[in-house]
């Protein structure tokens, strides 16, 4: 079937467009690709994009990153996360909360609470947070994440983008805030592998930030996390880090 002149011109324009994009991709490969941290030696060089890290920073006023809140159930991770998200959003920043309970209803819905499933849960969320951070988003991750080795793997994956925040409230404080009765059910054996009761929690050894919600109010805790985020992610704070990434 013969093509009309209009169809032919349309095909030519698409061909030209594809050629332009292909040339641009070749030009940026290995130069503007942004990677958050080390990867296995599999040839992977980062998320391919025509948008450089410096362009995202110039647009957003901040670099992407991960605030990884870890602590016992009831330590205030979710409450402080959404509070900080609100304040950062009001500054015009690109940010979002990745909440462990929420993600267990979706991307991690097939996982339980055995050590192996906990490892996989953190791996998936760490991968997701790293991809979002590479796109300029500040991910506030609120997860118990009880094992140091799992948090360490996310740190290795994300590199300088990763900032560990320990919500250090004592277990007695957390248990007193337990409206769902999770600790009571854990102590009576109704909840197997409940962290802090039947399963261990390994506190961070060198977190970037400690927030003791047993001594601080919600407002103070939210302010502490927000102030830290501004200090480490604001564009004036990340020039040296960006130069190291682009020169490596």
Lowest-confidence region among 9-13, 107-111, 186-190: 9-13
- pLDDT score, position 33: 43
- pLDDT score, position 115: 86
- Tell me how many domains the chain contains: 1
Nearest CA-CA partner of 142 in 224, 225, 76, 231 = 76
Look at residue 10 and tell me if it is in a domain.
no
Q: What confidence tier does 148 reach under pLDDT thresholds 50, 70, 90?
A: very high
Supply 49's token pair: 């994009």
The CATH number that applies at residue 144 is 3.40.50.300
Q: What percent of the chain has pLDDT over 90?
A: 53
Look at residue 65 and tell me if it is in a domain.
yes
- pLDDT score, position 241: 55
Look at residue 180 and tell me if it is in a domain.
yes
Model confidence at 35: pLDDT above 50: no
Active site residues: 145
Nearest CA-CA partner of 74 in 101, 96, 98 = 101
Q: What confidence tier does 29 reach under pLDDT thresholds 50, 70, 90?
A: very low
Most confident among 12-16, 30-34, 41-45, 89-93 (mean pLDDT): 89-93
Look at residue 80 and tell me if it is in a domain.
yes
Mean pLDDT score of the chain: 83
Three-class SS string for the chain? CCCCHHHHHHHHHHHHHHHHHHHHHHHHCCCCCECCCCCCCCCCCCECCCCCHHHHHHHHCECCEEEEEECCCCCCHHHHHHHHHHHHHHCCCCEEEEEHHHHCCCCCCCCCCCHHHHHHHHHHHHHHHHHHHHCCCEEEEECCCCCHHHHHHHHHHHHHHEEEEEECCCHHHHHHCCCCCHHHHHHCCCCCCCECCCECCCCCCCCCEEECCCCCCHHHHHHHHHHHHHHHHEHHHCHHHHHHHHHC
Distance CA 197, CA 185 (A): 10
Q: Which domain holds residue 160?
A: 54-247
Lowest-confidence region among 2-16, 66-80, 110-124, 161-175: 2-16
Distance CA 199, CA 177 (A): 19
Look at residue 126 and tell me if it is in a domain.
yes
Q: Does residue 140 contact residue 67 with C-beta atoms inside 8 Å?
A: yes
Model confidence at 152: pLDDT above 80: yes
Look at residue 39 and tell me if it is in a domain.
no
Distance CA 34, CA 51 (A): 9
Nearest CA-CA partner of 164 in 196, 211, 222 = 211
Task: Name 166's bridge partners.
Answer: 70, 210
Look at residue 4 and tell me if it is in a domain.
no
The label of the residue with tokens 């991910």 reads 139
Q: Does residue 98 contact residue 122 with C-beta atoms inside 8 Å?
A: no
Q: What confidence tier does 18 reach under pLDDT thresholds 50, 70, 90?
A: low
pLDDT digits over 66-123, tens only? 999 999 999 999 999 999 999 999 999 999 999 988 888 888 988 888 889 999 999 9
- pLDDT score, position 140: 98
Look at residue 31 and tell me if it is in a domain.
no
Model confidence at 163: pLDDT above 70: yes
């Amino acid at each position: 079937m013969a093509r009309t002149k209009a169809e032919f011109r349309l095909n030519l324009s698409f061909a030209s467009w594809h050629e332009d994009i292909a040339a641009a991709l070749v030009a940026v490969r290995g130069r503007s690709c942004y990677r958050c941290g080390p990867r296995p030696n599999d040839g992977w060089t980062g998320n391919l994009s025509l948008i450089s890290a410096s362009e995202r920073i110039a647009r957003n006023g901040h670099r992407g990153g991960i605030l990884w809140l870890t602590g016992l159930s009831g330590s205030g991770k979710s409450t402080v996360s959404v509070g900080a998200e609100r304040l950062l959003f009001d500054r015009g920043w690109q940010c979002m909360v990745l909440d462990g309970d929420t993600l267990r209803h979706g991307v991690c819905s097939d996982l339980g609470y055995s050590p192996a499933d906990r490892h996989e849960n953190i791996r998936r969320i760490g991968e997701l947070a790293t991809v979002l951070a590479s796109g300029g988003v500040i991910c506030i991750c609120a997860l118990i994440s009880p094992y140091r080795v799992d948090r360490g793997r996310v740190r290795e994956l994300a590199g300088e983008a990763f900032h560990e925040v320990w919500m250090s409230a004592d277990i007695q404080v957390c248990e007193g805030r337990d409206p769902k009765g999770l600790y009571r059910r854990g102590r009576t054996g109704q909840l197997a592998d409940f962290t802090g009761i039947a399963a261990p929690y390994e506190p961070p050894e060198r977190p970037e930030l400690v927030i003791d919600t047993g001594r601080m109010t919600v407002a103070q805790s939210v302010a502490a996390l927000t102030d830290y985020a501004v200090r480490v992610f604001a564009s004036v704070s990340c020039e040296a880090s960006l130069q190291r990434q682009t020169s490596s």
